[in-house]
Structure 1
Amino acid sequence: MKNATLAKNFEPNEKICFDKRFSIKGLSGARRVLGCFMVDTKRGITAAKPLQNEIIDNCSLDISRKKFLMILFGMKGNEYIYFNREEKMKQSDPSTLHHYVSTGNTHKDPLQSVIGEKMLYKKQQTCEFCNGKYKAFEYRSADMKDILYLYGKDYPGDVKAYSYLGAYGLGYLKTDKGNYFVMSFEHGNTQLQVSEVEDLENLMACFDPSVFQIYEETKVVEMLQETEDRTNELNQNLVRDEQKMLNTNFPCAAKKYALNVYKNESNEKQKELLEMQSNDKIAYSNKADVLKVASRYDPTASIKMDRLQTEYNLCILKSDVESGKWSKNPDNYSKAIAKINCWENKVNEYKKMEDDIKAIDVRYSNDKEKAVEEKMKYQVKNIGPKMGTLRCNL
């Protein structure tokens, strides 16, 4: 933090070397978590890995790992997410590993404010960390929502924090009374603490992201073109379906039309989201930005698509049964009736899930954040576990 004035914007493909590594542990809700992050104290850059139930790679910089994921953010407002994806050119081709960095466009337009000034007030409680190596004093924010344990040279009655380098509320804190280690951070149902601080200066812990492609300028552009192509195809399908609905020889044409209308709507929503990714500044450390993206997510989107497809398939199968197509083969007839019953149950269950999600949106129409939270809970508790029971492999 002594060199915080040297902090500057950095490019997504720029090599970064770190001089400190922090191991952390704690609670996120009821879940015990472990994690780590590294910092370049000279340039004001942090690299963090997601919190997990167990340490899998201990902040490994090995980009050949299939599930490599790391977030870099700087004191000057850059925020980059590095990740790998397996992709195929064709369905029959073998998968190849691609490296992407999602910048949220902060490489072109950095965040204006990384941390706001905050007053912290000393309490009498102390706590030792890292096997007694650091004895820190408790400080709290004025609203008492943030509880921090600070380690430093002096411990005045209050400090004004105005610069931060670290992750998950831990790391370095620059104040008007000096620099501190944040050894513990508690807010709401999150309680995290530093379990080890390692010096990396002699270990050459460097991250070279030169092979990573900027996601917004490559993959997003490619997917936008795919949505454009799909729009043309879907519009042609809708024209064809409208003509079929006028013909009594196609009793299920209305079902097919409803399916393609929804496919078109879903394609347009995906296009809007991709355009937002391409053009807007989206920082995933910013609560408002995360909410803007999350509020567009509909946990029943794939369910509705499958329901409409199932209703169309159901219509075709019922028409075949009613026309006597299966009457001469008792086994096939029995299988057709069983599949009809299974599909009808599946459609009814899907409709209930869709209605439940709509009810959540209505209930929290004035609180988007709560609506997103409740919909995610519903998906985990009700949608995920139910999907396996609704398969109709008859």
Structure 2
Amino acid sequence: MKLITTFLICSFFCVVLRAQPDSTRRDSAAFFWPQGSAQIMRAPILQGTSQGTTIVPRQQFCFDATIEIELFYGGRRSISTCLFLNSTDGYIGYTTPGPGGAINVLMPEIENFSFSIINFKMSNVYFYHNQKGNNNQLVHVVSTSNTDSHEYQMTNLLTSAPLARKSERRTYCEGSAEALAYKRSDEPTTWFLYGDRFPASIQAQKFFGAFGVGVVRTDQGNYIVMERTAGTSYTVIKRITKERVCFDPSGYKMSEADFYTKRAADLVAEREKINRDEAAAQDSRRCVAEKMDLINFRREQLRIQEENLRRSQSGNLLQNRTAQKGMLDMMDPIASVQMGILQAKIGICNAQEDAADNPGHAAADAEKINCLNQQITILQRAESEMHAADARYAANIAQALVEKSRIYMTALRTAGCN
């Protein structure tokens, strides 16, 4: 999983734009405007008190409108994406933003397909993509980041405080839509709203969209958020189209669920192997103490990994630090380094015992002991560097894991013994 994410909800971006002169124009296709704008302005999800339907990762999703948008985050060039809206149930899909123009068709069979779906409350976040399996066959995968069982907690800036009308106007869709600026008094974001009237103050109540644009129900009626800006960044609607598109992920593999199932089975198998290895170690004639040190370490690691597995499922992986740490700690290479040190000590003990029992092996055993001592030194240095990485990136456990993985790979390249 681009684990933490690897993967962002659209509305979380703070999209902002430098102030423009009055009547700034952002051209886009006007042909689709009448039907497309009417479709989302009358969105049933905005009526009444509906919070949308519960969505599950492998249901069929159907959409009745699309919105192509452009995003600029203050860099040298903008990126684009397409939102797919279900105006009745309130869920939204979006293709991965990229520099080559908005991807407004869904083609699950191409290798680089990726598509995200969020529900109306933005509490369920599902990421669909392809990856290579056996024989280079494409495997369809959905990652939920546990949001199917532990909802994402979202705060929407648009609905959390009244918006005051400003003087700036902008036109869109080749002049088909004129929008006025509205903003909160306590933060820099500006929303450009299109509607049939523009009162001095508006209280947004329900928002249906993503990346800061879409349609909003207010105490003064429904409006289309044509653009969200502040500073040098923005999100702007380029086209709205009324069209029906469906996506069926019923055959997709569940990334996290499959991982948890396999990991639990691996831990059961490891427990059984530890028990067999312990019996063999106690029956052996050589290096019983060293072997039992390794057995005890593995047993403690098994306990830790079982706890990590439990913690990784305790919350959503986008927000819950306990769940994030549980998942990342299952991948922590420091245990492999520590196990390598104990294994090297067993190797030294075996070589010493062999030299004592077989004087003719003394030279070869001495060479092996020397190599294993060097290996221990390298692994102990790596362990120390990993602890330092944990301290250095205490606030960013994902970055700490990246650094520790790099340290581990470096140690593996230099710590080998035949």
TM-score, normalized by the shorter chain, greater than 0.5: yes
Superposed, 1:244-255 pairs within 5 Å as: 248-255=287-294
Structure 2 residue 370 is matched with structure 1 residue 349: no
Residue number among 209, 214, 218 corresponding to 2:249 in the alignment: 209
Q: Residues 213 and 354 from structure 1, CA distance in 2 versus in 1: closer, same or farther, beyond 3 angstroms?
A: same
Q: Residues 237 and 271 from structure 1, CA distance in 2 versus in 1: closer, same or farther, beyond 3 angstroms?
A: farther
Q: Following the alignment from structure 1 to structure 2, what is the Cα–Cα distance between the partners of residues 387 and 79?
A: 35
Q: Following the alignment from structure 1 to structure 2, what is the Cα–Cα distance between the partners of residues 96 and 144?
A: 46
Compare 64-73 and 162-171 and name the one that shifted more.
Answer: 64-73
Structure 2 residue 397 is matched with structure 1 residue 375: yes
Residue number among 145, 148, 158 corresponding to 2:191 in the alignment: 148
Structure 2 residue 314 is matched with structure 1 residue 314: no
- Matched residue, 2:413: 392
Superposed, 1:53-202 pairs within 5 Å as: 54-55=99-100, 58-66=103-111, 68-75=113-120, 79-84=124-129, 97-100=139-142, 102=144, 104=146, 106=148, 117-127=160-170, 135-144=178-187, 146-185=189-228, 191-194=233-236, 196-201=238-243
Q: Following the alignment from structure 2 to structure 1, what is the Cα–Cα distance between the partners of residues 224 and 361?
A: 75
Structure index of larger Rg: 2
- Matched residue, 2:301: 262
Structure 2 residue 219 is matched with structure 1 residue 219: no
- Matched residue, 1:9: 53
Q: Residues 169 and 231 from structure 1, CA distance in 2 versus in 1: closer, same or farther, beyond 3 angstroms?
A: farther
Q: CA deviation at 1:207?
A: 1.6
Q: Residues 104 and 28 from structure 1, CA distance in 2 versus in 1: closer, same or farther, beyond 3 angstroms?
A: farther
CA displacement, residues 135-186 of structure 1 (integer Å, 9 cap, x when unaligned):
5433323421543333334333321111111112222222222333323335
Q: Residues 70 and 149 from structure 1, CA distance in 2 versus in 1: closer, same or farther, beyond 3 angstroms?
A: same
Q: CA deviation at 1:311?
A: 0.9
Q: Following the alignment from structure 1 to structure 2, what is the Cα–Cα distance between the partners of residues 238 and 320?
A: 16
- Matched residue, 2:84: 38
Match for 2:197: what amino acid? D
Would the aligned equivalents of 2:194 and 2:224 in 1 still touch at CA under 8 Å? yes
Q: Residues 385 and 171 from structure 1, CA distance in 2 versus in 1: closer, same or farther, beyond 3 angstroms?
A: farther
- Matched residue, 2:27: none
Residue number among 321, 328, 334 corresponding to 1:304 in the alignment: 334
TM-score by length of 2: 0.67
Q: CA deviation at 1:244?
A: 7.7
Match for 2:384: what amino acid? K
Q: Determine what percentage of the aligned residue pairs are the same residue.
A: 14
Listed as ranges, the gaps of 5+ residues in structure 1 are 362-370
TM-score by length of 1: 0.70
Q: CA deviation at 1:46?
A: 0.9
Residue correspondences, number: 362
Q: Following the alignment from structure 1 to structure 2, what is the Cα–Cα distance between the partners of residues 147 and 385?
A: 43
Would the aligned equivalents of 2:82 and 2:94 in 1 still touch at CA under 8 Å? yes
Would the aligned equivalents of 2:215 and 2:224 in 1 still touch at CA under 8 Å? yes
Q: Following the alignment from structure 2 to structure 1, what is the Cα–Cα distance between the partners of residues 274 and 328?
A: 23
Structure number with greater CO (CA < 8 Å, separation at least 6) is: 2
Match for 1:308: what amino acid? Q
Q: Following the alignment from structure 2 to structure 1, what is the Cα–Cα distance between the partners of residues 404 and 234?
A: 31
Match for 2:44: what amino acid? A
Would the aligned equivalents of 2:287 and 2:349 in 1 still touch at CA under 8 Å? no
Q: Residues 231 and 149 from structure 1, CA distance in 2 versus in 1: closer, same or farther, beyond 3 angstroms?
A: farther
Superposed, 1:331-350 pairs within 5 Å as: 333=367, 337=370, 340-350=373-383
Q: Residues 248 and 385 from structure 1, CA distance in 2 versus in 1: closer, same or farther, beyond 3 angstroms?
A: closer
CA displacement, residues 191-218 of structure 1 (integer Å, 9 cap, x when unaligned):
44125224152xx4322233346667x6
Q: Following the alignment from structure 2 to structure 1, what is the Cα–Cα distance between the partners of residues 369 and 193?
A: 69
Secondary structure in 2 aligned to 1:319? Answer: helix
Q: Following the alignment from structure 2 to structure 1, what is the Cα–Cα distance between the partners of residues 274 and 363?
A: 40
CA RMSD of aligned residues (A): 4.5
Q: Residues 341 and 56 from structure 1, CA distance in 2 versus in 1: closer, same or farther, beyond 3 angstroms?
A: farther
Match for 1:309: what amino acid? M
Superposed, 1:16-31 pairs within 5 Å as: 16-27=62-73
Q: Following the alignment from structure 2 to structure 1, what is the Cα–Cα distance between the partners of residues 82 and 374?
A: 52
- Matched residue, 2:32: none
